[in-house]
């Protein structure tokens, strides 16, 4: 009797998208598909956050148990499988995997405007706007990127991709502040940036009113000591503004040409939100109160 031919594992973006979709639909037999998708993103975000952000552990652990309690044992066991597929998917190369999956599952809601930009478009925009990253790093030490309506994080991923193409390790020299008013979008962004080891603070909040409900710090943010790095740069800029040397009286004042705002320059509202979060975190973990 001939031996059964071994089944090779599926590879590539499309294969992983198909496998993820299949697992989610299996869990959607007793639940709405949109609920399974949002629960997966939140469970993944909670799992990663609880491993690195002990300041928020207790509340997030309780939330994790609350979500899991809705599912039967077999359904719960599928969530780690989905997580593994997402990891393998992202290993295929830079992509907005969760954004593509969201649209592929036809979960877009025209009322909420949840239609995510295709990754090739985000990639083109990033390459046009990132500019000379190496020159900025030489002057500033690192760059900051702010995304006030992050969606699934596709634009941020595209920026990391563009920096990587310049032969620069984005994991060491790029910090991201991403924000969205939709909780599921926040979890999607956090999950993907965490797995790509992007130093980031992902904020659940309103970018217009600057109201913040929650924040999530990626493992790369914690491991890289970015709370201190961001505070240090802020202090340096404040000191430079205070001790700026005035122009000589004899000098004829001339108005400088307005320079365009680089894509990596922090927008003022987002800068304030990030600074408040960093200050709050440093106060809670200070060893010298």
Averaged pLDDT in 10-residue chunks for the chain of 289 residues: 45 85 94 94 97 93 96 96 95 94 84 77 90 86 91 94 94 94 96 97 91 94 91 68 53 46 48 78 58
How far is residue 220 from each of residues 53, 62, 147, 199, 225, measured CA to CA in Å?
A: 11, 24, 18, 5, 8
**Residue 207: predicted pLDDT:** 85
**Residue 268: predicted pLDDT:** 60
**Residue 264: predicted pLDDT:** 41
**Residue 259: predicted pLDDT:** 45
Would you put residue 274 in left (φ > 0), alpha (ψ -120 to 50) or beta?
alpha
- The residue assigned the tokens 């603070």 is 201
**Residue 38: predicted pLDDT:** 95
**Residue 6: predicted pLDDT:** 44
- The residue assigned the tokens 């990127």 is 145
The candidate with the shortest Cα–Cα distance to 188, out of 114, 128, 126, is: 114
Beta strand 174-180 with 143-147 is parallel
Report the predicted TM-score, pTM, of the whole model to 2 decimal places: 0.82
Q: Is the distance from CB of 123 to CB of 165 less than 8 angstroms? A: no
What are the residues whose beta carbons fall under 8 Å from the beta carbon of 51, sequence distance 6 or more? 219
The candidate with the shortest Cα–Cα distance to 152, out of 86, 223, 53, 225, is: 86
DSSP type of residue 92: T
CA 258 to chain centre: 31
Measured distance CA(186)–CA(94) in Å, rounded: 19
Beta strand 211-217 with 143-147 is unpaired
**Residue 266: predicted pLDDT:** 40
What are the residues whose beta carbons fall under 8 Å from the beta carbon of 277, sequence distance 6 or more? 201, 203, 212, 215
C-alpha torsion angle, residues 80, 81, 82, 85 (rounded to 10): 120
- The residue assigned the tokens 């009322």 is 111
């Amino acid at each position: 009797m001939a031996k059964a031919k071994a089944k090779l594992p599926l590879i590539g973006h499309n294969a992983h998208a198909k496998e993820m979709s299949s697992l989610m639909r299996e869990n959607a037999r007793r639940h709405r598909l949109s609920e399974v998708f949002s629960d997966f993103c939140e469970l993944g975000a909670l799992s990663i956050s609880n491993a690195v952000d002990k300041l928020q552990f207790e509340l997030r652990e309780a939330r994790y148990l609350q979500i899991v309690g809705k599912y039967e044992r077999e359904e719960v066991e599928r969530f780690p499988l989905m997580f593994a597929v997402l990891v393998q998917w992202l290993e295929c190369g830079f992509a907005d995997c969760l954004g593509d999956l969201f649209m592929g599952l036809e979960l877009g809601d025209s009322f909420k405007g949840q239609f995510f930009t295709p990754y090739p478009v985000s990639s083109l925009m990033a390459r046009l706007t990132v500019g000379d990253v190496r020159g900025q790093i030489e002057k500033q030490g690192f760059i900051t990127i702010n995304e006030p309506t992050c969606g699934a994080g596709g634009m941020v991923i595209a920026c990391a991709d563009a920096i990587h193409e310049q032969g620069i390790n984005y994991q060491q020299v790029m910090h991201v502040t991403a924000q969205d008013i939709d909780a599921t979008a926040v979890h999607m962004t956090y999950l993907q940036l965490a797995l790509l080891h992007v130093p980031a603070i992902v904020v659940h909040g309103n970018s217009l009113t600057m109201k913040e409900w929650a924040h999530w710090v990626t493992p790369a943010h914690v491991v890289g000591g970015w709370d201190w790095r961001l505070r240090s740069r802020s202090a340096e800029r404040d000191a430079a503004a205070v001790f700026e040397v005035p122009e000589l009286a004899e000098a004829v004042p001339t108005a400088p040409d307005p320079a365009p705002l680089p894509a990596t320059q922090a927008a003022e509202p987002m800068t304030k939100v990030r600074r408040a979060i960093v200050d709050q975190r440093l106060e809670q973990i200070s060893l010298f109160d």
